[in-house]
Amino acid sequence: MDDRWRFSRRQFLKTMAATGAITASELLWWEEPFLWPKKAHAATTVRFQFSVPEPLRISLVESLVDRFNKSQSDVEVKVEFVPQAQARQKLITAITAKNPPDCCQIWDNWVGEFDGMNVVEDLTARIKDWKHYKDTVPVAWQTVTVKEKILSFPWAVTNDAIFIRVDRAKEYGLKIPGPDWTWDDFVTLAKGYAKPEKNQYGFGMRGAGTWAVLYATEFLYGNGTQVLKDGKVAINSPEAVSAFEWYIDLIRKHKVTPPSVATDGYRQIVEGFGRGVTSMYLHNSGSVEEQKKFVGEPNFATLPLPLGPAKKRATFYFSETLTMFKDAKNKEGAWKFFTWLMDDEPHYHYCKTLGLLPTRQALADQPPYTGPHYSGFVKSFPFSVVSPYLAYAGWGGKLDSEGVPLFQQAMVGKISSKECLDKFAEVLTKNMM
């Protein structure tokens, strides 16, 4: 026999010891096997679609899915990343073709649309028995409740607040207002910040994308506006028109916004602030971590939206949801995956990395959510409401395709604030379905 194949007693004992050590380490890591996941032959697959607005999320979700897969012997999640711009359309075509993924991550404003198509699994019974049900912020449940059915897990929640440059305020001798500031304070501050000759502007208003309409509406609420009143569209009420005139005046009269305002989307308002072009902007907590890198932690803070003439204000909650489809082939696997993601550590890790607010109260009471960069959002909780545009599934796409061009026309002065809101009200009324 070839010497190479001889196995001495010493070698045999060493091999046995090594095998024992590896087995022991595997047992220590029993929740997440150290070397490889031990999948049963019949491990069932869960198809999970994740829409990606930014590359950071890919590695984050991949690591979470990988950890989940390693912790399970009978379920394996396969994640399908789809660019956010195509996610809604891809899901809807997959649903129409009767081949949706088992579950997905989507925004709450799509949940209503999908429920309108009668394709979302009702999770009410399961969720009410879930161990963290009572620890979840009630308003988070509201964002995913349609016709008294809980349709999704609110994975992360956020509202909007004003990002503000603290260092520049000091440089220009401007006083940073308190959380109960007013529209007048806002205009004064924006004017103080505006130095067009230095390519600096007071407020990075959003003019493109659905949120151009939503942010404007949040300001409108400061004057007592409501989108729906007694079941009728009221977005063109006198108080709404007056508030919208004030909002448009920021561009046309006070000139505190950058010249590109009418086409500035998410990326432009975030980068505008990050590059020092603007000194204030309205956004959700999702850009806090980014701004820490762009402008530096000590140089900015967040404030709640200012109080309007009616001494009111509102910010819209929205949540990133985990949603399951009625046609899911592996509902049990998807449920297992959801509850794992909502557990303390994965949930906190996901939200903290992305700067979103956890929906579990116990986690929201921990840093960094208690610090200055999130204070604007946390202090906005008492007047945060679910977006009124979630009321009708038919409004979903129309905000973008008809609402945004109308608001842009008002921004560039092609139509008056009243004409804009009248036409917008017509669009909403026509699509109340």
Partner 1 sequence: MNQQATIAVPAPRALLSRGMRETLANYAYLLPVAICLGGTVLFPILKAMHMSLYHNVLIRPQDYRFIGLGNYVRMVEDPTFWLTLKNSFIWVFFSVSLQFLFGFAAALLLNAPFKGRAFFRTINLLPWIIPGVVVALVWEYLYQPNYGPINDILRRVGLMREPVAWLSNVDLAMPAVIFTNIWRGIPFFAIMILAGLQAIPDDIYEAATVDGASVTQRFWHVTLPMLRPIIVVATATRIIWTFNYADLIFVMTSGGPANATQITSTYTLLQAYTDLDFGYAATLSVILLVIMLVFTALYLKLTKGVESVAG
Query: Does the footprint of partner 1 cover residue 99 (CB under 8 A)?
Result: no
Residue 283 pairs in a beta bridge with 161
For partner 1, the binding residues in 276-305 under the rule CB under 8 A are: 277
**Which residue of 83, 196, 296, 371 would you call a contact of partner 1, by CB under 8 A?**
196
Residue 122 DSSP code: P
Q: Residue 93 belongs to what H/E stretch?
A: helix 84-96
As a whole number of angstroms, the distance between CA 133 and CA 145 comes to: 14
Query: Does the footprint of partner 1 cover residue 414 (CB under 8 A)?
Result: yes
Nearest-approach distance from CB 164 to partner 1, in angstroms? 19
Other Cβ atoms within 10 Å of 321 Cβ, number: 26
Q: How far is CA 104 from CA 15, 78, 114, 233, 323, in A?
A: 45, 11, 12, 32, 5
Question: Would you say 312 and 222 are in contact if contact means Cβ atoms under 8 Å apart?
Answer: yes
Q: How distant is the alpha carbon of residue 314 from its chain centre? A: 17
Question: Would you say 289 and 355 are in contact if contact means Cβ atoms under 8 Å apart?
Answer: yes
Query: Does the footprint of partner 1 cover residue 224 (CB under 8 A)?
Result: no
**Which residue of 199, 366, 370, 429 would you call a contact of partner 1, by CB under 8 A?**
199
**Which residue of 38, 184, 405, 430 would you call a contact of partner 1, by CB under 8 A?**
405
For CA atoms 139, 144, 146, 152, give the dihedral sign.
Answer: negative
19 vs 86, beta carbon nearer partner 1: 86
Nearest-approach distance from CB 52 to partner 1, in angstroms? 17
255 vs 329, beta carbon nearer partner 1: 255
As a whole number of angstroms, the distance between CA 240 and CA 212 comes to: 16
As a whole number of angstroms, the distance between CA 221 and CA 304 comes to: 13
Other Cβ atoms within 10 Å of 83 Cβ, number: 10
Q: How far is CA 282 from CA 115, 138, 194, in A?
A: 30, 24, 16
**Which residue of 100, 101, 154, 258 would you call a contact of partner 1, by CB under 8 A?**
258
Query: Does the footprint of partner 1 cover residue 394 (CB under 8 A)?
Result: yes
Query: Does the footprint of partner 1 cover residue 327 (CB under 8 A)?
Result: no
Query: Does the footprint of partner 1 cover residue 121 (CB under 8 A)?
Result: no
Name residue, tokens 């842009």. 408
162, 146, 139: which is closest to 319 by C-alpha?
139
Nearest-approach distance from CB 180 to partner 1, in angstroms? 32
Q: How distant is the alpha carbon of residue 69 from its chain centre? A: 25
x-or-dash pattern for partner 1, window 150-179, by CB under 8 A?
Answer: ------------------------------
Nearest-approach distance from CB 278 to partner 1, in angstroms? 9
Query: Does the footprint of partner 1 cover residue 355 (CB under 8 A)?
Result: no
Nearest-approach distance from CB 259 to partner 1, in angstroms? 4
Query: Does the footprint of partner 1 cover residue 117 (CB under 8 A)?
Result: yes
Beta strand pairing status for 384-386 and 315-324? Answer: parallel
Number of residues that bind partner 1 (CB under 8 A): 40
**Which residue of 71, 73, 188, 409 would you call a contact of partner 1, by CB under 8 A?**
409
Where do contacts with partner 1 occur on this chain (CB under 8 A)? Answer: 86, 89, 92-93, 96, 113-114, 116-118, 196, 199, 207-208, 258-264, 272, 275, 277, 393-394, 396-398, 400-401, 404-406, 408-409, 411-412, 414, 433
